[in-house]
Every structure is written in C-alpha cells, then in structure tokens.
Amino acid sequence: MDVEKTVKKMTLEEKAKAVEGNLVWFTQAYPELGIPEIQVSDGPHGLRKMYGEGKTITSVCFPAASASACSFDTELLEEIGHTLGKECQAENVGVILGPAVNIKRSPLCGRNFEYISEDPYVAGKLSAALIRGVQAENVGTSIKHFAANNQEFERMYGSSEVDERTLREIYFPAFEIAVKESQPWTVMCSYNRINGTYSSENPWLLTDVLRKEWGFEGLVMSDWGAVSDRIAGIAAGLDLDMPGSGGVNNASIVKAVQEGTLSEEALDAAVANILRMVDRFVSGRKEETFDPEADHAKAVDAAKECIVLLKNEEKVLPLAKEEKVALIGGFAESPRYQGGGSSHINSFRVVSALSVAERYGAFTYNRGFSPEKDETDEELQKEALAAAAEADKIVVFAGLPDVFESEAYDREHMQLPACQNRLITQLTTLGKPVIVVLHNGSPVEMPWADDVAGIVEAYLGGEGIGEAVMDVLYGHVNPSGKLAESFPRKLSDNPSYLNFPGTGHKVNYAEGVFVGYRYYDTKQMDVRFPFGYGLSYTDFRYANLRVSRDSFTASEGVTVSVDVTNTGDRAGKEIVQLYVADRTGSAVRPVHELKGFCKLSLEPGETKTATFKLDSRAFAWYDTESGDWYAANGSYTIEVGRSSRQIEYTAEVHIIGSREKPPVITPDVQLGELLQSPYTREYTMERMKKYMDRFRSNANETEEMVEAVVRFMPLRSLRSFLQITNEEIDSIVTDLKEHVEKQLQK
C-alpha cells in the first residue's frame, strides 16, 4: 500500500472515521481503497483473542510479568515473544496489547501482577526483549500504559502529580529503552492525567518526548475509553481512539478541520500511522499453526526459570523422593497462576502441583483452606494438622485469592488471608520443617517467615506452574529466579504509603525518585527480602572484578567484568547485578541504582565472566534546569553483587571532562554558590571582595558564623546588610550573566 497516496484519496469523513476503532477490537476497513481491517488482542502473557459475545479463544497462559521478570533473562522473554507472535499469526491477530511496564510504586496496585518491576532499567530491558520476539514474527506490540499509571483507584480520571526529574528517571525509562532498542509498533497511552493533563491529549508526552526525543516511529493508541477530548488528542499525537466512539466523534473531527481548530495535516498524520501499521501486518502475513501442546511445554519451562527460592534453612530443600510429604492448602489443587481483568487467559491446560505429585514421591494432601476466599474451616484445618503431624516435611501452598488483586481496583493491605496465616502458624508448632509456596501477584507480609524452614515464591507462573513448582521442590530444577521487586516487612514501610492512592482526584508522588530499593537501601531500612534476592541449590563465588579504565569521560563510558564460579555440586544459574553509586554530591540521589544484569548458566566447577558496558546514562541524573541528563565530574562506585543488599565487589571510578553546571544568576543566587562554581569563582572573588570584607568587619560574631552566613547569603541580602542599592545588585547580576555566557562559549 502506498500510504501517502491512499491518504490523499480519502475524504475528510473517511479520515475522521479511520482514526477510531471498529467493533471494539478492530481497525476500520475501506475495501474500495484497499484498506483491510486488522484485529488487536489483549495480552501480554497470553493471547486473549475475543470472538462472538464476550468469548475468548483457548490459548496458552505464560507466566505473568511479576513472575517472568524474576528470570532476569532477556533470552527467555524474547523466546516467549516469538511464541506469542506465532500464535498471533496463526489467529490473524495484528497487534498484541503488551507488555505492561508501569513501575511498581506501591505493593497495593491491583495490576502489579502484569507489571515487570519497581526498577525502570529491568522493566525496559525485559520489555524490549519481549517486543523483539513478538515483532520478529511480524506482529505488533503495544507497550503500555504511557505514563505514570501506577494504581487502579481513579485511573480513568485521577492526576498523577509528578515532577519532571522523577518522570524521567523512574516512570519514563522503561518506555524509552523499549522504544530505542525495539521500536514497538504501537504505544498505548494511559487513562490518567499527568500534572492535570490527560495522557491522551498531552503533546509534551506523545510528541515532544515520545517522537521527537526518543524517535518513536509507530502508532499511538488510547487505552480502551481513555479519550477525553478527541480533537485535542489528535493535535497532541494520539492516532487511534480505541475502542472508538461508534461514530460520535467523527462529526466533531470533520467540523474541527473545517473550522480550522484542527489541522488536516495532524489528522492525515494520524491516519497515515494507522495505515502503515495495517499494511505492515497484512504485507507480512505468515502461515502459522497454533500448537497448544508445544506452547504449553514452553510455558512450563518458562515458569521454571522464574521461581524464586527465598528461604532454605538447613537445606530443607530439595525434597527427597523417599520423604513423606504433607501437601496442604487449596492452591496445591487449584493454583492461582494468572491475574484478573483484561489479561485473563482462557487457558489450554492448567497443571496443579497435586495433579503431578505422584511422579515425585510419597505424599498426602489436605485442602486446609480455600484458595478462593478468606474463610476458616475448622474441620479442614484440623484434618490438615493431623496429616502434617505424620509427615516428615510439610509444604503449604498459599497465596492471594483472585478477588484480592485484579485490574480495576487496588489491594487494601499486604496480608494473606487470615485463615492461611493461622494455619501456617499452627503448622510451625508441630516440630516439622514447614515450606511455604506462594501464589501471588505482588508482595505479601509474612508474619510466620522466621518460623518456617523454606519459602518458595512462585508468583503467578502461568498454566504450567504446578509442574514447575514440583520440579523445584524436588530438585529436578535448580531455582534461579531473583526478586524484581522488594518485599517490605509491612505496608507502612513503603515510600508511597502516605500518598497512595491520593485524595481530591490527585495522587502526589512525593517520594520522588526514591521508589522500591532506591528508598529502602538509601534509608538502610530492614526489609523482608531485598530487590534482586534469590537462593540456589548450589553456590557461586565472585572474583576478579575489573574495570576497563579508572577515569573516563561520560561519553566514553567504561566496561566492567567479573568472574563467577559455580563452587557447588550441581548445575545452576546466577543473576549477576551491577549497581552504580554517585559519590559526587551533585544531586540528592539513591544510594545506588541498578545499571546492568547478566544471567550465567554454570556447570559445577565452571567459571564464566559477566561483562557490562556502561554508557553515560548509567551515571547520570536528569537535570531539569538544563533539560538534559547530567553526569557530574567526580567519583562513582561500581558495585557488583547478588542483590541490592549483597554486594560482593566494588571499584571506584572517576568521570572527567563533564560540563560544570553554572549557577542560575539572579538576585537570589547564594554567594557560596558563586564562590564554588568555576564559572563565577574568580569574578565573584574580585568583584565581591570589598562587600564581603565590609560585611565581616560589621559583624560582631565568630569567624565561623560569619563564613557560614556569607556562604548561604543571597546577593539581594547585601541590600539590607550593607545598604547596597538595587542598581548595584542589578549591575552585579548583569555582569555575572555576561561573564558566564562568555565562558560557556569558549
């Protein structure tokens, strides 16, 4: 299709209709112009293709993002993407709606199960990998929800009040990385407002940042029903309104163009972006067969890579075949393996732990509690306790019922159902090792954590989670997942606690850049389990940390490598993490930030090298005054380790040659800032010496106090203390500005 020629052939009315969806899941078709419709489908951890009256096809459910993120495995995510892309081709679906990369600001967000991480670098790298896989099959993705959509409460109306530095450092990078590395076919804008402006009609967000700064080349679509003002949306860069207005907006668009309140060029650009997407899919159609058996096996294998071993006291795991094991809890029979809402999959085959348990060893099973509600059944608990008393080891399958976390509403607390906590606590009094397997989409409080011997975090691991869990419990698989989010001890420890979910239709992101481990680690706060944490059945030794250079310019960057050896007796995988700590004092920053990760597969005795290449962004923070990323000259610490709290080796490096930040010259600028800046130090010492000497001679205080007062005194204060005229102050400010401008031009 020649898109430009086709757009020129279209009438204004046809263009107005083309920029909205048709029948909920389709784009508009114009057969006479050679424009077919294409279908989009919910995702992102399985194909949720709709047909008929609210029906969905049978599909394969892969681990939700909360689980797959714990693999820290870009190759795995890319392979899942390939599989999803092939399924889409087999079902004639042009775009799958995902991945979802909104940051886990609070553990309470009802949709956290389908978000990747509290860390933007992890979310960006893993989502870019998934996108590459899907789009390699000539199927589009729709990375979502852009931006600052971090709760379900008032998500369609509320305003996320976020300063620009926080947006740039925390809530934008996952989208930015994915756009620059993988170019998703579409970006889905969020429902919410950002600082008062709806995302769907925000030109700074959709055009200035997304297209002009990041180079996005695709289509911007709305979330379903996210459009407020369609005319403002088109002007801002929103191409496709989904699911559409049923024609209600068409006349308004035509009228706006005719009256000149909307340029036809903006409408043409939106239509062209839609037609390019349609043509891209149609011209690249592939013959694929959806093989649910093969894809189910892939889902099982994926789940095995995502499970996190959180506690293994006295090596209670893996279980031995000859041990008598009591399986307890309704989740053993009916695992919670996916979240609720738009990502809910009509799954091909759900494998529970109980359904495959006989393969592994001797066991008994008692329900103990329902997986669907918080309701204590005294008889069920009594039977479970009796069976557990006769076992060698006890495995409790616990978790959050579906009604506890879902799209459309947030959680009210971080607790498991009380009936589960009660039974687990009772089981710990039997004198037998207790292992808890968790099925949950986000962190939970664990009042029994110190009393159980083992904890296995299965998250929502997809339809094969039962088999994957049993393989881990019995050592057929060595667990290798690590947490992509922190587990605080209690909800009130979370940095967003006082500002979630907000009031007055606004939510204040008062914690700024201190989200997740950035807050806990900087505060040196005790957590239940830190970011990046996870155990293995083998041991790893780190050695020989190397940096390619000790000093470098930010644009040159640095290469870091470390050797990792498997010192245990079985094969395993280790996720090596690299953090950067800014020691320059140029801004208030977290104590460290993740800037690299690498998953190594190692046989017993084998050594491999993890290598990281750090560019300028690995060291930079966003300077709103200059509107750019800034890495100050000075010292930085490279930290390499097993988690954010288990750093094995560090190395000090230095950045040189960066621009120094000149002070903002106004009557309010402090004398100390002028004396510290290389741009103004010499001038200030010469021009201000007489004023400063006069101030010191007039002050009847200690030299230390006078120095401190002068250091923090703004220029304007000289009027009061030394009776300097306004004209003299204005002259100093003007001369200083000219002096700085000349230096910057050198």
Active site residues: 223
Distances (CA, A) of 31 to 20, 28, 37, 219, 499: 17, 10, 9, 22, 51
Instruction: Residue 663: count other Cβ atoms within 10 Å of its Cβ.
Output: 20
**What is the sign of the dihedral through the CA atoms of 272, 278, 282 and 283?**
positive
Which token pair is 120?
A: 């933007």
Question: In whole angstroms, what is the distance from residue 103 CA to residue 525 CA?
Answer: 21
Locate the DSSP E strands across 229-280: none
Question: In whole angstroms, what is the distance from residue 590 CA to residue 579 CA?
Answer: 11
CA-nearest of 193, 700, 557 to 204 is 193
Distances (CA, A) of 378 to 365, 367, 368, 381: 17, 12, 9, 5
The DSSP 8-state label assigned to residue 623 in this structure reads E
Spatial neighbors of 246 by CB under 8 A, at least 6 apart, are: none
Strand (E) or helix (H) holding 81:
helix 74-90
CA-nearest of 220, 134, 124, 96 to 181 is 124
What SS3 class is residue 263? coil
Question: In whole angstroms, what is the distance from residue 160 CA to residue 137 CA?
Answer: 36
Evaluate whether 273 touches 218 at the Cβ level (below 8 Å): yes
Question: Vertex 121, ends 119 and 127: CA angle to 5°?
Answer: 100
Evaluate whether 94 touches 134 at the Cβ level (below 8 Å): no
What SS3 class is residue 629? strand
Question: In whole angstroms, what is the distance from residue 218 CA to residue 468 CA?
Answer: 38
Locate the DSSP E strands across 124-218: 140-146, 159-161, 186-189, 193-194, 197-198
b/e map of 410-431 (b: 16 or more CB within 10 Å)? bbeebbbbebbbebbebbbeee
**φ, ψ for residue 521 (rounded to 5)?**
-70, -35
Instruction: Residue 233: count other Cβ atoms within 10 Å of its Cβ.
Output: 28
The residue type of 191 is Y
Spatial neighbors of 358 by CB under 8 A, at least 6 apart, are: none
Angle of helix 264-283 versus helix 248-259 axis, rounded to 10:
130
Distances (CA, A) of 601 to 78, 479, 575, 598, 609: 17, 12, 9, 10, 11
Percentages of the chain per state (helix, strand, coil), in multiples of 5: 35, 20, 40
Question: In whole angstroms, what is the distance from residue 674 CA to residue 681 CA?
Answer: 6
Question: In whole angstroms, what is the distance from residue 398 CA to residue 146 CA?
Answer: 34
Residue 509 burial (C-beta neighbours within 10 Å; 0-12, 13-18, 19+):
buried
